């Protein structure tokens, strides 16, 4: 944002910045203290910058997305795999389902192939609702890709 906001202001067209956080930034977890702290920091940093841009009335919207639990291999190091020799832990999918039921508003875990897709269309839908253009179409500041 340090470099993108001045460019967006110079374009005179406003825009939208979306930061990726996590549900862990909204609700703490005993086994993820450091991760929760960093994602909470992203959330509050985003809010502060959104307030600054709002006060500047430059048409720049700043928001954060807080995906829930996404089933990726990172969980192997945190909760184990549940396979034989893994200290008799329950299967990873079972543990993630239980965590998701508690922490995720919709109650289910996500998958890498589908979770980025949800946020990719959000700025366009929001822009259509507010009738504002997002970013500078001739000189994009960045690109978001994801999903199949």
CA 133 – CA 14 distance, rounded (Å) = 8
**pLDDT confidence of 141, banded at 50, 70, 90?**
very low
Size of the chain, expressed as the number of residues it contains? 148
Whether 82 is in a domain gets the answer no
Neighbours of 61 (CB within 10 A): 19
**pLDDT confidence of 111, banded at 50, 70, 90?**
low
Whether 6 is in a domain gets the answer yes
Neighbours of 2 (CB within 10 A): 6
pLDDT exceeds cutoff 80 at 38: yes
Q: What is the pLDDT of residue 135?
A: 38
Beta pairing partners, 19? 64
pTM (2 decimals)? 0.63
Whether 4 is in a domain gets the answer yes
CA 64 – CA 28 distance, rounded (Å) = 17
As a whole number, the mean pLDDT across the chain is: 72
Note down the domain range covering 30.
Answer: 1-67+131-136
Among 27, 31, 51, which residue's Cα sits nearest to residue 39? Answer: 27
The predicted model gives 109-138 an average pLDDT of 51
Instruction: Identify which has the larger pLDDT, 48 or 104.
Output: 48
**pLDDT confidence of 146, banded at 50, 70, 90?**
very low
Coil vs helix vs strand at 64: strand
- Taking the mean position of all CA atoms in its chain, how far away is CA 77? 22
State the total domains in the chain: 1
pLDDT exceeds cutoff 50 at 134: no
Whether 85 is in a domain gets the answer no
Q: What is the pLDDT of residue 80?
A: 58
Q: What is the pLDDT of residue 40?
A: 94
**pLDDT tens track for 65-110:** 887 777 666 666 666 555 555 555 566 677 777 777 776 666 677 6
Instruction: Give the residue numbers marked as catalytic.
Output: 35
Whether 44 is in a domain gets the answer yes
Whether 14 is in a domain gets the answer yes
Coil vs helix vs strand at 66: coil
Whether 116 is in a domain gets the answer no
Whether 74 is in a domain gets the answer no
């Amino acid at each position: 944002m340090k470099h993108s906001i001045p460019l967006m202001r110079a374009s005179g067209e406003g825009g939208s910045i979306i930061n990726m956080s996590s549900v862990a930034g909204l609700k703490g977890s005993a086994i993820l203290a450091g991760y929760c702290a960093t994602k909470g920091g992203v959330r509050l940093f985003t809010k502060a910058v959104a307030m600054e841009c709002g006060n500047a009335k430059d048409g720049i919207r700043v928001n954060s997305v807080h995906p829930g639990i996404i089933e990726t291999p990172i969980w192997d190091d945190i909760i184990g795999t549940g396979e034989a020799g893994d200290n008799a832990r329950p299967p990873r999918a079972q543990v993630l389902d239980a965590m998701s039921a508690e922490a995720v508003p919709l109650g289910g875990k996500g998958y890498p192939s589908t979770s980025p897709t949800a946020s990719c269309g959000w700025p366009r839908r929001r822009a259509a609702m507010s009738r504002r253009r997002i970013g500078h179409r001739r000189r994009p500041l960045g690109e978001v890709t994801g999903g199949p």
